[in-house]
Copies of this chain bind each other. A is one copy, B any other.
């Protein structure tokens, strides 16, 4: 039973099209092809082979990178065809030997990342009109079908053999962990009894029935497969163009972040992650812009990926991923900011005024995704609002995303926070609300009042307005924050993860919150159960001649 050990080697989340091992991206005008061609002998770490286009974290990091680059670097693309380079195999899903030999925390965080990647595909469709079609030329199992489910449409070859399947329950005694169950009933609205049958049939469902049950949108004979995919892609491209006609023109290249990494620090241009392993605490500091904002969208595009609002949030995103996967021992993250509050607000204003520009819109969508990644990070988050901080607008979201916030009342009103138009809509949480709305569920009318405030809030005003948890006098500041951090770091990591997962998303639920709230929690449970991961559990026994042994008691 692989129990949180051995911890895998540190993972680097940066990559580039030119370095992909497992995917090929090609372009034909408004259509991009994202072709999965997993190299069996190039897993992220030793110990398993990536057979049959099965994937590990390394494969998914490339996929996430490819989707991101399509949005920024290729505004001419309206539709992406997700396909396979292997004959008669689309994708066999997450690699089972990788899962069986991974620790619990790694498995859970691997699933979280792959879930976010699939949501990124849907986000691109919803917010940027970048549509997707899954071209299933053959076997499409488990995570492979979950990838297809994240696409707008699914075309399955009708060759008498190729099926879609979610064989996790019957074969592995775990759940489809990448949104499959939720998307089957909530996105594709497959009837629940049919979904029940589908999810227990290891060989899956093919042909006419797959279409009739709504598991795919079209089944076509091999001879017409490529033509049918092209047709669908063309229609989707037209739809995407109609939704986002302004998305065009030269793309913006995403340059490497290339942080400096030491055992105690990851240092980027605008973001610094300091690690205190003994205290199980990290400090994540985001610096505000060091110049005034570009005057318009064209000037922003000219700055490209060096634009503060893009660069800083890309760095934050990378730091969060490192925290999750490479630093399991960190339980508490202190969020700090450094810089000029008014300048942050000026940048937010510039971004907000240009949201109808495709690039600036992409920048805002990226900020929103990064903040949702923060919400979903299973570490306690405390915002520390002290001298020199600049929690305004988009950076105030860091404090609003935190489990709690401490603000220094220096008696002179020098420490302030402020809202901007960016707090009013462009950065939604997974539940569809803004972080201010989520925060003020009991007093929805207060949201508008706070957004309309003309002046920044000093500590007492911020506490009064409900923007921070505690405003502390200088004399109490150091001790109170220190004690709060020590107390937090002393609590059981598991119970904190569960508690935060329940308190962070009050209010409405969406497919996205269902994936992370309901499905992920059940999957986490099952990933602990002896029937899956015990010595004779199904995941452990997979590929061995003996059958797994189950404890038959139902919970």
Binding site for B on A (CB under 8 A): 4, 104-105, 108-109, 168-170, 172-175, 181-182, 184-186, 188-197, 199-200, 214, 280, 328-331, 378-379, 402-405, 438-442, 466, 469, 487-488, 491-504, 506-509, 514, 517-519, 521-526, 528-529, 531-532, 538, 548, 550-555
Contacts and interface: CB of A to CB of B under 8 A. Distances in A.
Contact of A173 (B200, B494, B555): B494
- The 3 lowest CB-CB distance pairs between A and B, nearest first, are A521-B521, A173-B492, A189-B442
Nearest to A198: B503
Given A189-B442, A378-B555, A503-B185, A494 B328 contact: no
A200 B438 CA distance: 21
Given A493-B553, A497-B554, 5 more contacts: A169-B495, A200-B491, A501-B522, A514-B517, A521-B522
Nearest to A181: B502
Given A214-B442, A503-B199, A495 B531 contact: yes
Contacts of A521: 518, 521-522, 524-525
Contact of A553 (B190, B328, B402): B328
Contact of A494 (B104, B405, B506, B525): B525
Contacts of A405: 193
Given A403-B196, A404-B196, A529-B494, A499 B169 contact: yes
A200 B330 CA distance: 18
Given A185-B506, A404-B193, A491-B200, A522 B498 contact: yes
A469 B531 contact: no
A170 B175 CA distance: 30
Contacts of A108: 555
Contacts of A194: 469
B193 A531 contact: no
A528 B531 contact: no
Contacts of A492: 169, 173, 529, 531-532, 538, 548, 550
A466 B195 CA distance: 13
Contact of A197 (B174, B328, B404, B440): B404
A543 to B, nearest CB: 17
A173 B214 CA distance: 43
Contacts of A500: 196
A503 B186 CA distance: 9
B329 A552 contact: yes
A553 B4 contact: yes
Given A105-B555, A185-B506, A191-B439, A498 B514 contact: no
A328 B554 CA distance: 5
Contact of A330 (B104, B280, B517, B554): B554
Given A492-B169, A494-B532, A469 B200 contact: no
Nearest to A187: B506
Contacts of A379: 554
B169 A554 contact: no
A111 to B, nearest CB: 11
Given A329-B552, A525-B524, A173 B497 contact: no
Q: Which of A108, A197, A404 has the most CB of B within 10 A?
A: A404
B532 A199 contact: no
A499 B4 contact: no
B554 A182 contact: no
Nearest to A527: B525
Contact of A554 (B331, B525, B553): B331
A548 B494 CA distance: 14
5 contacts: A105-B554, A192-B438, A497-B522, A501-B522, A509-B509
Contacts of A522: 497-498, 501-502, 521, 524
Contacts of A214: 442
A184 B504 CA distance: 12
Nearest to A538: B492
A467 to B, nearest CB: 10
A181 B531 CA distance: 29
Q: Which of A195, A499, A529, A531 has the most CB of B within 10 A?
A: A499
A402 B195 CA distance: 12
Contacts of A495: 168-169, 172-175, 526, 531-532
B494 A555 contact: yes
A197 B469 contact: yes
B105 A189 contact: no
A169 B497 CA distance: 10
Contacts of A402: 193
A319 to B, nearest CB: 15
Given A175-B499, A328-B553, A501-B518, A189 B469 contact: no
A370 B494 CA distance: 34
Given A189-B442, A552-B331, A554-B330, A175 B525 contact: no
A438 B191 CA distance: 8
A17 B4 CA distance: 50
